[in-house]
Structure 1
Amino acid sequence: MATIQVSNVTFAYDGSYDNVFENISFQLDTGWKLGFTGRNGRGKTTFLNLLLGKYKYEGQIKADVSFEYFPYVVQHPEYLTMDVIEEIYPDAVQWQINREFQLLQLSEDVLYRPFHTLSNGEQTKVLLAALFLKENSFLLIDEPTNHLDINARAQVSEYLHNKQGYILVSHDRSFLDSCVDHILSINKTNIEIQKGNFSDWWLNKERQDQYERNENERLKKDIKRLAEASKRTSNWSDEVEKTKNGVRNSGSKVDKGYIGHKSAKMMKRSKSLEQRQFEALEERTGLLKNVETADKLKIAQVPYHKQQLVALDHISIQYDEQAVCSDISFTIEKGDRISLTGANGSGKSSLIKLILGEDIPYDGQLYIGSQLNISYVSQDTSDLQGNLTDYAKAHDIDESLFKAILRKLDFSRVQFEKDMASYSGGQKKKVLIAKSLSEQVHLHIWDEPLNFIDVISRMQIEELLLEYEPTILFVEHDREFCNRIATKAVQL
């Protein structure tokens, strides 16, 4: 297999005074199924763009292969799907397309429908099929699971499991585990590669982090003990030295040679202790550089005066005489954490809009508690722009709490000064979640909140929801998250 050699690469965006990468070096095998992980804003998509030659950088990237990036930009979504595939790969052969469609569990009739009429899941599968038609390229697959429901994720995961020669950016732990054999991780101070799936990498990371914490505590104690011993020995040496010009009680003169030798010996021991202390300090500076901070989050949710907040009784929704969902009944009570599940297009977002009070045509009975305050996290982050201070004022939330939550979600203080429009997809989602956690509300409704959000932040959010037990209705396709968080599941 060919290799990709990255040597001493340094990169910063124009006008930025902080480097995204600094002197990074590693080697990749083009036969690997490589999972690419790291906290939001660390530069995963940037690195893929460096491979694609989109930016100038210092250092060298040598590769004996061409690169293809997913997702493709579809120039003409109104075209038939077959024509969209041919635009991406003009040499596509029908039997090859049919083979990839079969592996992705796509029906052949999709080829003869306008691309824009396909569901998000179908569009993703079509573009992946087009990607893997290019068999002699190394594939850069950036967040393919966003907006895929759980069943579609399982199908795409199985598809990728049987392929090779790609870098896959994803924050879905179950998804990564099932389809990668190496992990490329962007840490706080370096980039490293390990063999195995995500769970293997995470277990190794936890062990290494715990070892470094233990070593750090041991060295702290050693440094303190050595400093005290060095000080005592130095004091003794000074006291002995003072006796050189003295007279013994017997009246005889002191042995200056002996005392000088004893003083020098103590001083030498003191210097030795100082050197050991310095070495311990040096060793300690090499620790904890890649230990991720994941402080506990807090939530501002307030209790509601009734047990029941929302009730849906035989609700049906239709647009232009076409049913979206029908005969849906469930209640939201204090402390419920409800996972709203179902295939794309089954009506999840429509039900959420109905509960939020939007003008949605429906049949059945809907009860919304009086003076019920709801916080909503949307799938869409495209309207985020401007600075965080103005954003907090516009939404009447505590700016200090809002920014404190973002700091715990790995925002640097430099990010606070930037325009939100320049944030990564994951950072924008964190802004919406931090806003929601800062609001004084009775119910949280989150629609696919984890899209683009890194694994460590997902774990922080999980721990928050388990500790504070807020009332929440959410749509999320991360199987691990749903299994840990949901107290109820509503299947559409």
Structure 2
Amino acid sequence: MIRLDNIGKQNGKQLVFIEASAAIQRGEKVGLVGPNGAGKTTLFRMITGQEQPDEGQVVTDRGITIGYFSQDVGEMFGRSAISEVMDGTGPVSAVAAELKALEADMADPDRMDEIEAIIERYGEVQARFEDLGGYALEGRAREVLAGLSFTEEMMDGDVGALSGGWKMRVALARILLMRPDAMLLDEPSNHLDLESLIWLEEFLKGYDGALLMTSHDREFMNRIVTKVVEIDGGALTTYSGNYEFYEQQRALNEKQQQAQFERQQAMLAKEIKFIERFKARASHAAQVQSRVKKLDKIERVEPPKRRQSIAFEFPTAPRSGDDVVSLKNVHKRYGDRSIYEGLDFVVSRKERWCVMGINGAGKSTLLKLVTGSTQPDNGTVSLGGSVKMGYFAQHAMDLLDGERTVFQSLEDTFPQAGQGSLRALAGCFGFSGDDVEKKCRVLSGGEKARLVMARMLYDPPNFLVLDEPTNHLDIVTKEMLIAALSQYEGTMLFVSHDRHFLAALSNRVLELTPEGIHKYGGGYTEYVARTGQEAPGLRS
């Protein structure tokens, strides 16, 4: 269906692809993986024809439709979210827009003298809308938006009033509604809450076209893809199976290649030693020449490419008291909406609470109450003795000084620390070499998140409050963070939509539902087993 034949591509001085080949067949669900900057977005752009390979060719079956969702959603304003979503399906959206305009005209007292002509035109347009299956399409569009957690009010409101994350969902919904023959999805799991993520997972499982996608959510990838294409060092390598199988197979291949490399190196050393020893002896001239020729013909085995792995170890945090934070009879409202009425909640030392609930349930509000970023209307929030808190919030990334470099930002936070110590810290969080001289304003979302974490964790708090800490992080950095936090001996309260993160780190669950607040001993895995659901309000 889609073939990449010996493609070569260079961006500036960087060789992105060198004689790379891969194929995507009809109905296959393929995960595209590789380190940041390896060329995943370039590959998508070549398949859609936005870029051309320098060598080789990209071949797509004649007549197939391709839907491409990228992180760059462009401008959206002046229309409703539902109109934007239907816009991707061709003429029906234009007919729907005219229908809406005619409805407004019929209700306009200033146009009463034209009412007969308007009604006549309305009948014609309505018939055309029905012929195109418009009413069914609008129903499907609303279903897709509801699956991505839109309310009816948001669907019908101006899309320009939505945040960047919600506009991304509109752009994603447009591609899903198209149901093209092939879908290219670049990080569709970004900006989604857990409920939307699980809905999208089910939608994509039921999709019968070809799917090529990237995602930093390993659980999401695992459940959808049946094949993995890896970009590394300019080559494309295909693995059958899900993401977990790919990781195992890649590790096995690396191990085998390392063993082959070592065997060959030992053989070469032995041959070279023989040549060096006997090259001056006439009696061994023929043997020496024979071995030199043999060495020239041998195809050298390369050592496996080592992925840059980063590891961070927490210095020991000071011990807190047994009661870390206590909320008593807390009430909180935003306008007419009541978030908490009489909330009682205590976090004890070494507990790791994950907070779960649908959009608007009050997850971030709880974290803000605990950290003092917002005050309760009634009731008390009190920190225990010797508690030293670290708070990771999404807005923290916006507070970085854009004109300071990564290294200067660390120096500003820890003026007493030595240069070597701060460079080691930067390296742990993926800033090596010249990366430390990057100005904060040019950092990607993931880089900003890593810098904020580095500043928070270097002088470790004994109570971590984390609001979606894995947003923007790639799989390798998430693994580093999970490994580090697994060894952390302090207390945690966090919100995350990443099921791997939830399962690995929680030992308590606080579930916020419209019916009330439920507390579960045991972590996320036990919560799923006990409730039969992966998120509040969803049944598996």
TM-score normalized by structure 1? 0.79
CA distance in 2, matches of 1:151, 1:314: 29
Look at both structures and tell me which one has the larger radius of gyration over its CA atoms.
1
Q: Aligned with 1:82: secondary structure?
A: helix
Could you tell me which runs of 5 or more consecutive residues in structure 2 were left unpaired when the two chains were aligned. 94-133, 513-540
Partner of 2:68: 69
Which of 443, 449, 453 is the equivalent residue of 2:463? 443
CA distance in 2, matches of 1:147, 1:108: 16
Contact 1:105 1:155 in 2 (8 A): no
Residues 408-417 or 344-353, more deviating: 408-417
Partner of 1:149: 193
Residue 94 (str. 1) matches residue 111 (str. 2):
no
Partner of 1:313: 328
Distance apart, 1:340 and its partner CA: 2.0
Partner of 1:81: 81
Q: Aligned with 1:133: secondary structure?
A: helix
Letter in 1 for 2:467: D
Partner of 1:40: 36
Which of 358, 363, 367 is the equivalent residue of 1:348? 363
Partner of 2:10: 11
CA distance in 2, matches of 1:378, 1:211: 43
Mark the CA change 1:203 to 1:33 in structure 2 (over 3 Å): closer, same or farther. same
Q: Aligned with 2:350: secondary structure?
A: coil
CA distance in 2, matches of 1:211, 1:34: 25
Residues 334-343 or 444-453, more deviating: 334-343
Partner of 2:283: 264
Mark the CA change 1:156 to 1:393 in structure 2 (over 3 Å): closer, same or farther. same
Partner of 2:174: 130
CA distance in 2, matches of 1:410, 1:188: 19
Residues 159-168 or 416-425, more deviating: 416-425
CA distance in 2, matches of 1:313, 1:369: 13
Residues 69-78 or 145-154, more deviating: 69-78
CA distance in 2, matches of 1:206, 1:318: 52
Contact 1:35 1:167 in 2 (8 A): yes
Letter in 1 for 2:177: L
Distance apart, 1:157 and its partner CA: 0.3
Mark the CA change 1:34 to 1:452 in structure 2 (over 3 Å): closer, same or farther. farther
Distance apart, 1:114 and its partner CA: 4.8
Q: Aligned with 1:91: secondary structure?
A: helix
Q: Aligned with 2:84: secondary structure?
A: helix
Give the root-mean-square deviation of aligned CA atoms: 3.6
Question: Residues 239-388 of structure 1 correspond to what in structure 2 (within 5 A)?
Answer: 264-265=283-284, 283-284=300-301, 286-289=302-305, 291-300=306-315, 302-370=317-385, 372-380=387-395, 381-382=397-398, 384=400, 385-386=402-403, 387-388=405-406
Contact 2:87 2:174 in 1 (8 A): no
Distance apart, 1:155 and its partner CA: 1.0
Residues 325-334 or 35-44, more deviating: 325-334
Write the deviation string for residues 87-126 of structure 1: whole angstroms up to 9, x where unpaired: 4445242312323544675489464355478899986665
What percent of counterpart residues are identical?
Answer: 22
Letter in 2 for 1:316: H
Distance apart, 1:135 and its partner CA: 4.0
Partner of 1:112: 156
CA distance in 2, matches of 1:407, 1:455: 17
Instruction: Indicate the structure whose relative CO is greater, using CA pairs within 8 Å and at least 6 residues apart.
Output: 1
Partner of 2:244: 199
CA distance in 1, matches of 2:346, 2:274: 68
Partner of 1:250: none
Contact 1:294 1:409 in 2 (8 A): no
CA distance in 1, matches of 2:349, 2:268: 52
Write the deviation string for residues 375-434 of structure 1: whole angstroms up to 9, x where unpaired: 232224345534212211232264544543443455452433333333333233222222
Letter in 1 for 2:223: S
Distance apart, 1:159 and its partner CA: 0.4
CA distance in 1, matches of 2:389, 2:330: 20
> How many residue pairs were aligned?
458
Mark the CA change 1:26 to 1:416 in structure 2 (over 3 Å): closer, same or farther. farther
Letter in 2 for 1:202: E
